[in-house]
A and B are shown apart, each in its own frame.
Chain A
């Protein structure tokens, strides 16, 4: 779903400041960014540049201290806690650097978790889980626990979990950060395939420029919480 102008999510002069006693840390400072539907945007920057904070704000995990973020035609800052949870559940899929699978659950249960939270009927869940796991080629590892999977498999499982609710926006925070280069590449290929096949909007945080240049349509560079450069690849 877009805001009507083909934009899937838009940040308008967004700031996220943290007060640490007398010191104010400007993690994101007055950033304006519009991500169009179907785009693969890479947020590039060094550690502490504010890229993950901006991603969290756009994913509805955090609220800005200034400015506004629009998604689904609504200002996320004005949503109630419950509405924001629904936005995360129905519109957003998230992939993290450290996979964040629940270790005591099987792969099937991990992937089913967002469906439980979205109150999807039990009868429908099995097929949805199967579909998501087939997409990441893990359909034969249903009963395995995360500890029984390799890093790459865990990230693929996390990707399946992010996709199971059929979101329109996928936010990935350093998805290859914990993987070797070959496995990281396979994950990036998978993300690209998903973007192209499903027409999904992907916003990915990375500090690896070559990866961003190879897979993203657009690279947005951040430094010290400010937008440094916004470039669409030809």
Chain B
């Protein structure tokens, strides 16, 4: 039989027992809705976590340090890399890294101890430079006030603990000014004849106390993760370019001063940001090949993916239970249809229908129930998702927390769920269809 005729006859048969077939289709729809709802929740939570973590800069960031710095952090290596083989983490190296594929930006880690004076009272804290690219960072989503107005703005964002030290009413701090006292590193001219080694021409530096007035523009609850490369963030955050211009003496300066660096300024560490966490591994390998030490949370992302894969699998299994029950409904409906339409099958065979035609007819009926149930179920699942998101956001709003999309119904999930429903329905129709096809026409015609 031609496909069009097959479909027409199948639809006609489905219409004949419209109530029973509708209920069976509804069963499939509920099953698919349950599956879609569960998986959408899994996908939504995964996307939420990934987005938050990705925005935080934890997973798309590689921290680069000179290998000799890293050696100091480990036990003595059996074959330490000779100092002459360890390249300097200077501007040349930074530019090379900027040219690596999938690198968005490379910036130095600027972090130094300081004394903050607010309202005449001194407080010791750590200042950290924040790149302007952190503006879209998820870590600043719940900020009180605002992010820096520009990359060169003399503004500061306080971490809540520091803000609490400065004032009990932290919200009053926004718009106020504070003074940062720091040690500026001022280069000294090279001393003639002081060293016969031309490579030892690194000039020394003197420390000059300085002050900088900054306006408080924001307060953040959490410590922005961008600082993990420094193994602990600062509590007073200022624009990176402002921090760089301060030329504040950093912890590593003293150590670098006694090392040879061809007279060029070197960085204690650099932060390399990748376009996405998936590109971190390749970038890390390239930088290691340049002779630098690297650090990233790549393993953590792998574990995160593993966790969500297992989580999604469990949700899919629970979601599929309802679909399994619906499958039994399809089998039941079609077996009943065979009993009711036994004589009709006999007539069809007497008129020239092959076993294949009868089988296909029942298959199409099962497939149509699956297609309709799958489509309806995907819509129902989407609606459930919207309702859950709405309810969750209502709750989050009451808790003064930012809204979150805990539910995500990607197109592949919708299509996949419908295809799955059709496949499951066809599988459910296999036994009834085979049974119907094998009916002996003479016996079927005798059936009353």
Instruction: Give the B-binding residues of A (Cβ under 8 A).
Output: 56, 59, 61-62, 81-82, 85-86, 88-90, 92, 94, 96, 100, 102, 104-105, 113-114, 116-119, 122, 161, 165
Contacts and interface: CB of A to CB of B under 8 A. Distances in A.
A225 to B, nearest CB: 15
A165 B351 CA distance: 10
A82 B1 contact: no
B9 A116 contact: yes
B8 to A, nearest CB: 8
B241 interface: no
A82 B351 contact: no
Nearest to A81: B355
A61 B442 CA distance: 6
A116 B344 CA distance: 15
**Most central of B5, B343, B348 by chain A CB within 10 Å:** B5
Contact of B445 (A85, A92, A100, A118): A100
Interface in B421-448: 440-442, 445
Contacts of B355: 81-82, 85
B99 interface: no
Interface residues of B, number: 25
Contacts of B9: 116
B300 to A, nearest CB: 61
A221 B353 CA distance: 31
Given A82-B356, A100-B343, A102-B344, A117 B351 contact: yes
Q: Top 8 closest A-B pairs, CB basis?
A: A89-B352, A85-B354, A116-B5, A117-B352, A88-B352, A114-B351, A100-B347, A61-B441
A59 B442 CA distance: 11
A94 B346 CA distance: 12
Nearest to B13: A104
Contacts of A88: 349-352
| B16, B344, B346, B351: most-surrounded residue (chain A CB, <10 A) | B351
Interface in B207-256: none
A100 B441 CA distance: 13
Contact of A116 (B1, B346, B356): B1
B357 interface: yes
Contacts of A102: 344, 347
A59 B346 CA distance: 13
A82 B354 contact: yes
B445 to A, nearest CB: 7
Contacts of B264: none
B305 interface: no
25 contacts: A56-B442, A59-B350, A61-B442, A62-B441, A81-B354, A85-B353, A86-B354, A88-B350, A88-B352, A89-B352, A89-B353, A100-B343, A100-B346, A100-B445, A102-B344, A102-B347, A104-B12, A104-B16, A113-B348, A114-B352, A116-B5, A117-B352, A119-B1, A119-B5, A165-B352
